[in-house]
Structure 1
Amino acid sequence: MIEQLAAGAREVADDLSATDVLSAIRDRKAAENQAAADQLLLAARWADLHPPESIHSAASFTVPGCEHEEPLAGDGTPLVAEFCVAELGTVLGISSTAAKKLIGHALELRHRLPRLWEQVHAEQVPAWRARSVAETTIHSSPALTREAAGFVDAQVAAVAGRIGSAQLDRLVAETIKRYDLAVADPAADPEDGYLFVDPRHVTVDTDDVHYAGTLRIEAEIDLADALDLDRAVTHKAQEQKALGSTESLDVRRAKALGELARTQTALDLHFQGNGVESRISATEADQPNLPAAREVMIHAHFDASLSGDTTVFGPTGRMENGQRLVLLEQIRSWCGGSRTQVTIKPVIDLNTPLAAQGYAIPDRIREQVILRDRTCVFPFCTRPARGCDIDHITEYDHTAEAEGRPQPGPTTTDNLATLCRFHHRVKTHSPWHYAMVAPGVFEWTSPRGHHYRRDRYGATAIDPPDPPGIPRPRRR
């Protein structure tokens, strides 16, 4: 019966009964769980095979906006050579950051959460559930000692990993209290001061842009600040309605938050032909020379054609922020707001090679490479190109001109590519190498001879399939 499901184009046989379907999907789920557990074993073994030469060459997580780095796993776990994660990630078809998480979770479970580790490989706890616990214990603030992590392990293993995120947070807080790990907050009550862990933050997820042109904001702020913000947003939403807005309350509250960010004090509504007078905020009427309130840089690309002397834009385009589609009407609405300053940059032909003398990369060449590559060109990396380094694919020889030799790595768009800082270092300091085989198309070779092709649509492995009969990892 199971073989029937694998036949042909993986179509479900028409003669399967309801019982057969449930049995087959249960077996598939069990196989999926087993494969995920095996991945953790193999990731831990990969880490064992790649110890760093020194603490300075160990893999870690960089924290955006902070000067410090976080380790892959907690105290008591072995360090891992930083560049080995790139090859593991490409084999799995995931980013280097995701590969770091996989290795970190495997080491955290094996060394600091051993009960949960054993339950995963006894098929009592699914790997994803154990990994969520490991993610929490790795990045706890303050950091959990090995003994404290063992306490969490014992509590979670006692319920076979069936613990929700809120319960896990409370358990970690109790562990911090039990092991006296937190630094006391002088302003807090002495009874609770040693439990102080400041959770305040404001996070704008700029990498995940919705097709509607929106971003998600998450924040945790002081109670008084939160109440003040709620009152201000509520007031501005009511103000918009009084000025004639017919949008929903949620939309008006969202727009009110944007107005607060731009320090605007009223909403502009202009209706034509409906008998409603145009309303302009008193602040803007009294001070017409106010500077532009919006200072947002949006890179949107639209196809255009000429109709006589008129440029006609297509209805949809691509927005660099988040690599999402965007409607022309959305761009018009964003640019039509009050005191919005609009800058239109000239069109750059991506098909015309550009070159410069010397090593420095002029702005026009940098912009062309960024627009062509869109992201870091390392396989499966999604870091936006504007935050990347511009790499000479073939190294620039600074002594070639003085010695009368031809320059092997000229500064031309055919020899330049965008690489995030981590993958730039991987390319420079490890056996990884790559070449551009067509404009914007790159072929990479890993230290162990795996090959990948990366173009603007993504990355694919171009290796022959692995031979059958590869043994499953042994459990320790």
Structure 2
Amino acid sequence: MDRGTHTTATALIDAVRERTAAARAAEAAAFVAVGDWAAAHTSDEVVGDPITTLGEWDSEALAGDQFLELGGPGAPVVAEFCISEIAAARGCSFDAARRLVGDAVELRYRLPRVHARVVAGEVDVWRGRRIAQATRTLTFEGAGFVDRHVAYVAGKATGPEVDRLVAEAAARFDPETTEAERHAADGDRYLAIDLGDTAYTDPLTGTLRGTVNVHGSLDLADALDLERSIAHVAHQLGELGCDPNIDIRRSMALGEIARRCEGVATLEYAARDASEEEEPRPVRRARREVVLFVHLDQAAITGVTTGIGPGIDAYTGMTGIDLARLDTPGAPRGVVTVEQVQSWCGLPDTRVTVKPVIDLTADVAVDGYSPPDRIAEHVRARWPRCVFPYCTRSSRTADLDHCARYDENGPPGQTSTRNLFPLCRRHHRMKTHPERRTGRRWAYRPTDPAKNEPPNAVIWTSPLGLRYLVDRDGTRPWSPPDEPLGPAPSLDDA
């Protein structure tokens, strides 16, 4: 790419960024105006107050303007008719306007920190609304918990991450309901195999399909065990040359697992002496492994406490259920109760592994190319996500990339916690291989505090020479005034 073409391409990208920023600012201003309009049409009552019920009002009152509960507990009620003005002004349906006003009320009165970032243009309106929609059923204290923890990362938090935080808030501030719902969900578990005549015949032609439908609802730990077994057997079938369609191999794997389990119960016996008269016994095999990563805060390590007694939740100040954080590859991340973890570990065929505590402030290095488990776990604990700009993929499933290229004839200690970073497979390829059109590639380096750069971060340079800073809080464009944008990295810079 010559200099003139590069300048034109950069100008086009700059135009996209400028117009995107202007559109975000305009959308934020419109959203604030909706909130101001709703605030001007609120009542002194708030959601959760014992206000008059509709059944006690006369027919004239029922036909007039009513106050609606659009936010969660603690938010003011809003006059119904004011929503029609918003709908007309925006050219949308009443229901769409009602949802918009409800999100504005929820953010303004129950999520003030997130609302402030939306107003400032630091968080997209759609992200703020997504958080507001998730917190509506929480108590006022629970919403405040979510607000404190998500506000500073609201610009990058994904929907599942917000949902997990909301679930944690519900467990902390309404533990009785949470535990009751968990036990109620246990009663909803089932597994159905449709063996009826209509299950394996085509409903339209009546021809034999030879397949049946299987569906159910399992305990999380049981589902993880089943998923791991199916994936493993499906991979084995693929290596043996079975059908290339992964879905077909997975369905075949379930039948193979069933036949293997039957063999364990009926054909595999414990070794015994020929003189023994007792019947042979089935061999018990470990079917589940629970790996526990124990994370301790500074108070737990130093022994300095805040004076809060045992069993007291530091956020609520009340006795509540104990929570554990789930972080298993292939599993939904979030919190579960300690009682549920105990039920997983308490089975006689479960092997429990407790990983050692990792000091993330220490630097660890080895001389070989492949990092051992202790270094890999260290890097993934330090960087929970792929470090590519705006990527949200978990580091648990990412590759570990040598930021400075590994040299077989180089100095020792090149594979270290300071030179390894998680990159998902797609972004690892983008860092390794050039673009077809420009011949340039993405590249990154750790920040240098000596150059007044933020610590514990990386700076990426795009094929156009644009820079982005990525740290644990997210991604932002990076262009220090004393460091002009340079050319994009070529393959020779690898």
The interval holding the TM-score normalised by the smaller chain is 0.3 to 0.5
TM-score of the two chains, using structure 1 as the length reference = 0.38
TM-score of the two chains, using structure 2 as the length reference = 0.37
